[in-house]
Chain A
């Protein structure tokens, strides 16, 4: 059994991390977006020397709230506080503005199956960009109006899940969106499914199962829900939620539980298990089928802000920075922001399957 190792990235971002993502075609390329207005490209050493080095940084005008890879390891898209959705050529560093929202852009997600980029902004819209090479570069994106502010966005091979304020969850069908893009019709795209979040509190993260069967959501109230797309009674009866990322408060503080937000979720691309990262600075691995926690890693020095599995599931990147808590007047992640890379052993994230 190969021993699992964990190491820290040499030059982490200077301020809080908003997102981490591995390249779709290389398990050694990692992007990190940060509140320090930069996107960082790291290369994880392939020789097992337990190093990850900074290759390049891409400066933006404003904090970058999300980043995702495009069709390959040389293309990335970013969501900025400056309302812009940008495409970055990672080799040349060239930045192209894809669209401009009326408010900061919270999330971007790319669907390699349909060559579609979706951005979600606090102006309550989704922008759908056709990034296929055949598409004319200057066409305006398709806009989908949302009933609430989006806070999390995730795509599976055929669906995209948008989690909004007021516990709204909309699921869009990607083939439908792709068809609408192709026909360039102006009729509004309606969601494939509209759901109410299974969690009572603000949604913090969404991640889709790699097998296209369902998704997991997490909330600010130390809870994770797992549900399935299929709209049958049996499938819907399978959904469940559980508490996590909590700590028992010492009795002198009145006892009870300290409940941390679950900031990040990531499904393992091979085993279909998932990791959750919380404000308590822990990362746990869960077996969604067996409904069991498989592992919980040693506490990180600060809140876990972002998680990402590499495409082969061999690495888990963990973004750590101070968490924003109720009552904070000021915030800075400076000096306390770190990126850890965990090299998983072969069976580490393998679930036991449902019993």
Chain B
């Protein structure tokens, strides 16, 4: 439990790899990335000259070959634009960067879950995605409620003890410990963890927390974000603050209604809260379960969302230079006095 995975790089390692904005491929080091970009995306197909940037290639095409470059070669469909100047990892827009990190994290955890499924070696705290392979100890709703109440009380006490202690919207939910992508030592906890009979209506909130200070109230709009899971906000912290795991919210054992709108919180809170709590709390188990149950839903979201975005952008008004769908321009020209033919 809690041991490093053999042969599988950890998520920090993957996240730190340089990657190509145009094709999303990642590389061992920046040098390789730059030579990839020069060879694949910034190479002149006329003379083979390798330029440093798309802008450079555009100028080259213009001046040397008298041609215009409209799109970057071999790029993903939505990354062909010349408006963004990319060199290595420089110039990658923040939101794209966040999307990329989000995707890596998602893939990482999906792959991890798959490995666990394949090896039949369930990771600590994991049970949701495995289905009925393991017997789940059933707690009654009352027991769970009691445990949650205890936990909340403990948490509230800890919060209050802190100088910046602010009311946390804990109704029907609890933040959990998610500091490391790897399960913490279990402290001899029996496995599997106490399961819950309720429908796990966990929902991913934002992948990255908005950058308001720990302990502050969540933004008013945050609960609404439940309908659009896993879209990284633009103002997310830079990659250096990674790794952070997307916060998952557990709607509490008492809340049996699926889709109960738990209000959002921040990872900061979760992390600090977790640090204060230490390991081995029951909540940890619940959180990890939530995480396991959540993954499939998360994986789908980025792809689902992009086309929607594109669609709405396409709904633009258009103006046709020639709009007569019945009469051709030639027919109109033929009627002009200049061209009209009168048989003599």
Residues of A participating in the B interface, judged by any CB pair closer than 8 Å? 1, 3-4, 6, 16, 18, 35, 61-63, 65, 80-83, 104, 106, 122, 149, 151, 165, 200-202, 204, 220-222, 246, 249, 254-261, 279, 293, 295-299, 323-326, 328, 330-332, 345
With A122-B331, A299-B68 as known contacts, state yes or no: A326 contacts B323, CB within 8 Å. Answer: yes
How close is B71's CB to chain A, nearest CB, in angstroms? Answer: 8
Give Cα distance in the complex from A1 to B48, angstroms. 9
Contact of A104 with B334 in the complex, beta carbons under 8 Å:
yes
Which residues of B have CB within 8 Å of A296?
68, 70
Contact of A202 with B328 in the complex, beta carbons under 8 Å:
yes
Which residues of A have CB within 8 Å of B326?
165, 202
Contact with A along B304-344 (1 / 0, CB 8 A): 00000000000011111111111011111110101101010
> Which of the residues A151, A256, A325 comes within 8 Å of B321, measured between beta carbons?
A325
With A3-B65, A298-B66 as known contacts, state yes or no: A62 contacts B341, CB within 8 Å. Answer: yes
> Which of the residues A80, A202, A258 comes within 8 Å of B318, measured between beta carbons?
A258
> Which of the residues B48, B320, B324, B341 comes within 8 Å of A259, measured between beta carbons?
B320
Give Cα distance in the complex from A305 to B11, angstroms. 56
How close is A314's CB to chain B, nearest CB, in angstroms? Answer: 16
Residue pairs across A and B with Cβ atoms less than 8 A apart, 19 shown, are A3-B46, A4-B65, A6-B66, A63-B333, A80-B341, A149-B328, A149-B331, A202-B326, A249-B319, A258-B321, A260-B321, A260-B322, A261-B322, A279-B322, A298-B67, A298-B68, A299-B68, A324-B322, A328-B332
Interface residue? B162 (CB, 8 A): no
Give Cα distance in the complex from A3 to B328, angstroms. 38
Which residues of B have CB within 8 Å of A256?
316-319
How close is A343's CB to chain B, nearest CB, in angstroms? Answer: 12
> Which of the residues B68, B316, B319, B339 comes within 8 Å of A297, measured between beta carbons?
B68
Interface residue? B47 (CB, 8 A): yes
Give Cα distance in the complex from A326 to B66, angstroms. 32
With A1-B48, A3-B46 as known contacts, state yes or no: A104 contacts B341, CB within 8 Å. Answer: yes
Give Cα distance in the complex from A201 to B62, angstroms. 34
Contact of B339 with A324 in the complex, beta carbons under 8 Å:
no
Give Cα distance in the complex from A308 to B97, angstroms. 45
Contact of A324 with B319 in the complex, beta carbons under 8 Å:
no
Give Cα distance in the complex from A164 to B318, angstroms. 25
Give Cα distance in the complex from A261 to B320, angstroms. 8
Which chain B residue lies CB-closest to A104?
A: B334
Contact of A35 with B47 in the complex, beta carbons under 8 Å:
no
Given contacts A65-B330, A249-B319, A324-B333, 18 further A-B contacts (CB under 8 A): A1-B47, A35-B339, A63-B333, A63-B334, A81-B339, A82-B341, A104-B334, A122-B331, A202-B324, A202-B326, A220-B320, A221-B320, A260-B321, A298-B62, A326-B322, A330-B336, A330-B338, A331-B333
How close is A38's CB to chain B, nearest CB, in angstroms? Answer: 13
Which residues of B have CB within 8 Å of A259?
318-321
Give Cα distance in the complex from A20 to B262, angstroms. 68
Give Cα distance in the complex from A104 to B333, angstroms. 12
Which residues of A have CB within 8 Å of B338?
330-332
Contact of A220 with B325 in the complex, beta carbons under 8 Å:
yes
Give Cα distance in the complex from A201 to B46, angstroms. 36
> Which of the residues A61, A325, A331 comes within 8 Å of B341, measured between beta carbons?
A61
> Which of the residues B331, B332, B343 comes within 8 Å of A82, measured between beta carbons?
B343
Give Cα distance in the complex from A293 to B42, angstroms. 17
Q: Which 6 A-B pairs have CB atoms at the shortest separation, nearest pair first? A: A256-B317, A62-B341, A324-B329, A257-B318, A256-B316, A298-B68
Give Cα distance in the complex from A258 to B323, angstroms. 11
Which residues of A have CB within 8 Å of B317?
254-257
